[in-house]
């Protein structure tokens, strides 16, 4: 939530800031603003998307500045609450991502001293406090201030009296330093910087940095200087651009054959008939694991549910999938349990908090994430990168399929370690894994058939998704995709549960999307379809291309290539993504930036 960018270099700061903010907009789009230090401190803010800010912005001179795109937490969506937030004397400007838990207390204290506030945000407290603590050294004022803050923050600060530097600090919210030649950056996300640099330094919690055009200094809260290593990011600028697609989401759906190959590359060998994960990961899997807890939110939680079916079927190890927001407070912690955190961004506040809780309780932690250097990679014992490239669309697509594949590789590895999977069987799976990119491409090539079904759905009020086994979490994800980008009410159910309540909501005009695979659930699914049809709604079945029976039962059929197997979940999910995309597109929705959502949920 909230994208932040700081620039200190030789270019026109307002151009760089607007450009970077456009790349950060997926973090929030309630309001945006920039602050430039030139001859004076100039601030400009607008409610709404960055394009509005860009249209209205006056010409500001200056080569140092800060920019922010907001997802509102404290205070309504107004210009006053947009960032940068200023101290009352307009000396200090701050952009902030996070939540200051004790802001009411700090605010009251400042008000008693006569400080006048002009917004309802918790972030304004930071600007006012820095100003109170300012004794001629911005770094020291920031250090004194963060010692008073409780909660999470990534901040970038400029001061009228020290117009040559940016000061940044973080705790539990992402902030990365971009290293350039005669220019330096601070940003919440690496993808914002790719046009300018691929060299980064990661700030850790409790660290403060001071950036001039040519130098980067990092300190801890005791003002001791810290040496940070520089990393190179292997993402390219084109990965973070639409490249001719109308939406990032569609581009990312179409990138899935490639994303699958990237997961498999170097990890799955057809010749040796082996699955090879990073040494540290294999070490973790080699312990005496008695259970696994998968912790995640949203779509990542659903990939965890798919993972549960895969791991339990192949290894018999019990897997508990927990919503991170619940687990952190109520989950049972057990040091014999392996904790797997699944998080595309590596920055989801609840997932990070749950991982920290588990670690404190003595559990071993493994993270599956797409973002190298993200907080999740730095607080866990080991991590596996999905290597999907940047995902900009708020709706997760390619990272979901990659997470499932990584969980599948973990399942294979564990099964092999426990002697539950023979070499021949593993070989068969490896062969099928290698076929996946082609199967996904086939689904993508027939996107027009899915568009035909989308036309039937574009005006409905409500849609049910049902499935059994692995197809149950796919139904949940199919429903989430549809509701988040098309705003149609959609619910996913385990097919056997319909009779236990949800049937009451079913009317003749509620289409039911059923995922039917030819396994031990097939007959039951056909019976469930019958029960649905008896009540009048139309049934759309997603079924394998060899299923010759399904047309007798369903009104419409969308085929996935090949015959049913646990790996069919990948082409099936691509169908569900395309269906949601087409429906949302036909309804003219804001696909990449759905209302009220943000890509990375860095507050609780």
Cβ(148)–Cβ(126) below 8 Å: no
Hunting for tokens 């151009």 — which residue is that? 15
The alpha carbon dihedral of 343, 347, 349, 355 has a sign of positive
Nearer to ligand M6R, 396 or 543 (CB): 396
Q: Which of 521, 517, 558 is nearest to 540 (CA)?
A: 558
Q: Which of 498, 500, 480 is nearest to 489 (CA)?
A: 480
Q: How far is the CB of 99 from ligand M6R (least distance, A)?
A: 16
Nearer to ligand M6R, 196 or 302 (CB): 302
Cβ(4)–Cβ(95) below 8 Å: yes
Nearer to ligand M6R, 132 or 357 (CB): 357
Per-residue three-class SS string for 309-376 = HHHHHHHCCCEEEEEHHHHHHHCCCCCCEEEEEEECCCCCHHHHHHHHHHHHCCCEEEEEECCCCCHH
Ranked by CB distance to ligand M6R, the top (closest) residue is: 298
Query: Quick one: DSSP state of residue 203?
Result: P
Nearer to ligand M6R, 186 or 295 (CB): 295
Count how many Cα atoms sit within 13 Å of the Cα of residue 485 in the half-sphere of its side chain.
31
DSSP-derived pairing of the beta strands 291-296 and 319-323: parallel
Q: How far is the CB of 576 from ligand M6R (least distance, A)?
A: 12
Burial of residue 89 (CB within 10 Å: 0-12, 13-18, 19+) is exposed
Asked about 599 being catalytic, the answer comes back as yes
Asked about 213 being catalytic, the answer comes back as no
Cβ(145)–Cβ(133) below 8 Å: yes
Nearer to ligand M6R, 129 or 570 (CB): 570
Q: How far is the CB of 133 from ligand M6R (least distance, A)?
A: 34
Q: How far is the CB of 235 from ligand M6R (least distance, A)?
A: 16
Q: Which of 41, 132, 124, 116 is nearest to 78 (CA)?
A: 124
Nearer to ligand M6R, 209 or 297 (CB): 297
Q: Which of 544, 556, 553 is nearest to 456 (CA)?
A: 556
Nearer to ligand M6R, 9 or 298 (CB): 298
Q: How far is the CB of 209 from ligand M6R (least distance, A)?
A: 24
Give every strand in the sheet of 512-516, ordered side by side: 489-494, 462-467, 512-516, 539-544, 556-560
For residues 321 and 294, give the distance between their C-alpha atoms in angstroms, rounded to a whole number: 5
Q: How far is the CB of 77 from ligand M6R (least distance, A)?
A: 20
Provide the binding-site residues for ligand M6R, judged by CB under 6 A: 297-300, 343-345, 348, 351, 394-396, 484, 600-601
For residues 529 and 525, give the distance between their C-alpha atoms in angstroms, rounded to a whole number: 6
Q: How far is the CB of 531 from ligand M6R (least distance, A)?
A: 30
Hunting for tokens 């400007």 — which residue is that? 93
For residues 365 and 16, give the distance between their C-alpha atoms in angstroms, rounded to a whole number: 38
Q: How far is the CB of 300 from ligand M6R (least distance, A)?
A: 4
Count how many Cα atoms sit within 13 Å of the Cα of residue 280 in the half-sphere of its side chain.
11
Nearer to ligand M6R, 325 or 564 (CB): 325
| Catalytic residue (choose from 171, 251, 398, 599) | 599
Nearer to ligand M6R, 268 or 372 (CB): 372
Count how many Cα atoms sit within 13 Å of the Cα of residue 415 in the half-sphere of its side chain.
22
Nearer to ligand M6R, 480 or 498 (CB): 480
Q: Which of 190, 170, 195, 172 is nearest to 27 (CA)?
A: 190
Report in angstroms the alpha-carbon separations of 142 from 128, 149, 165, 325.
11, 11, 13, 31
* Partners of 339 in the β-ladder: 293, 365
Q: How far is the CB of 593 from ligand M6R (least distance, A)?
A: 12
Paired tokens of 233: 């990011």
294: Cβ–Cβ under 8 A, 6 or more apart, which residues? 304, 307, 308, 319, 320, 321, 322, 340, 341, 342, 407
Q: How far is the CB of 599 from ligand M6R (least distance, A)?
A: 6
| Catalytic residue (choose from 2, 20, 209, 297) | 2
Instruction: Indicate which residues carry an active-site annotation.
Output: 2, 599
């Amino acid at each position: 939530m909230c994208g932040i960018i700081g620039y200190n270099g030789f270019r026109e700061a307002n151009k760089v800031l607007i450009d970077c903010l456009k790349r950060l907009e997926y973090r929030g789009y309630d309001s945006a603003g920039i602050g430039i230090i030139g001859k004076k401190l100039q601030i400009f803010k607008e409610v709404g998307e960055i394009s509005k800010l860009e249209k209205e912005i006056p010409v500001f001179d200056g080569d140092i500045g800060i920019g922010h795109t907001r997802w509102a937490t404290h205070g309504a969506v107004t210009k006053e609450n947009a960032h940068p937030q200023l101290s009352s004397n307009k000396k200090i400007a701050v952009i902030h991502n996070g939540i200051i838990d004790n802001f009411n207390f700090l605010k009251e204290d400042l008000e008693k001293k006569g400080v006048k506030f002009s917004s309802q945000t918790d972030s304004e407290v930071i600007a006012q406090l820095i100003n109170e603590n300012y004794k001629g050294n911005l770094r020291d004022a920031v250090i004194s201030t963060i010692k008073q803050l409780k909660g999470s923050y990534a901040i970038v600060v400029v001061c009228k009296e020290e117009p040559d530097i940016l000061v940044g600090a973080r705790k539990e919210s992402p902030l990365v330093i971009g290293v350039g030649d005669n220019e330096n950056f601070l940003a919440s996300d690496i993808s914002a910087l790719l046009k300018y640099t691929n060299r980064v330094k990661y700030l850790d919690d409790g660290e403060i940095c001071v950036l001039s055009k040519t130098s980067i200094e990092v300190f801890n809260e005791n003002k001791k200087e810290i040496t940070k290593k520089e990393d190179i990011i292997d993402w390219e600028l084109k990965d973070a651009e639409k490249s001719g697609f109308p939406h990032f989401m569609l581009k990312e759906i179409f990138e899935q054959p490639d994303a699958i190959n990237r997961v498999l590359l170097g990890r799955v060998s057809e010749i040796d008939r082996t699955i090879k994960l990073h040494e540290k990961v294999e070490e973790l899997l080699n312990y005496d694991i008695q259970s696994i807890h998968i912790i995640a939110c949203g779509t990542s939680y659903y990939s965890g549910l798919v993972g549960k079916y895969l791991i339990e079927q192949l290894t018999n190890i019990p897997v508990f999938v927990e919503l991170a927001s619940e687990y952190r407070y109520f989950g049972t912690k057990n040091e014999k349990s392996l904790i797997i955190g699944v998080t595309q961004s590596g920055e989801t506040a609840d997932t990070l908090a749950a991982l920290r809780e588990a670690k404190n309780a003595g559990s071993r932690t493994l993270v599956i994430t797409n973002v190298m250097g993200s907080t999740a990679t730095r607080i866990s014992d080991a991590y596996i990168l999905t290597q999907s490239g940047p995902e900009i669309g708020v709706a997760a697509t390619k990272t979901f399929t990659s997470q499932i594949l990584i969980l599948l590789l973990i399942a294979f590895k564990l099964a092999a370690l426990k002697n539950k999977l023979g070499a021949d069987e593993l070989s068969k799976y490896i062969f099928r894994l290698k076929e996946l990119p082609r199967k996904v491409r086939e689904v993508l090539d027939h996107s027009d058939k899915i568009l035909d079904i989308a036309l039937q759905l574009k005006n409905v009020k409500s849609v049910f998704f049902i499935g059994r086994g692995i197809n149950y979490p796919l139904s949940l994800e199919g429903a989430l995709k549809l509701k988040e980008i098309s705003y149609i009410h959609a619910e996913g159910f385990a097919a056997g549960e319909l009779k236990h309540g949800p049937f009451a909501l079913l009317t003749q005009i509620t289409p039911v999307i059923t995922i039917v695979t030819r396994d031990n659930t097939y007959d039951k699914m056909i019976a469930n379809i019958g029960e649905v049809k008896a009540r009048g709604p139309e049934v759309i079945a997603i079924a394998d291309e060899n299923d010759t029976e399904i047309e007798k039962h369903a009104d419409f059929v969308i085929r996935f290539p090949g015959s049913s197997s646990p790996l069919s979940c990948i082409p099936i999910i691509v169908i569900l993504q395309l269906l949601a995309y087409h429906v949302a597109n036909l309804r003219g929705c804001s696909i990449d930036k759905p209302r009220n959502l943000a890509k990375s949920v860095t507050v609780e």
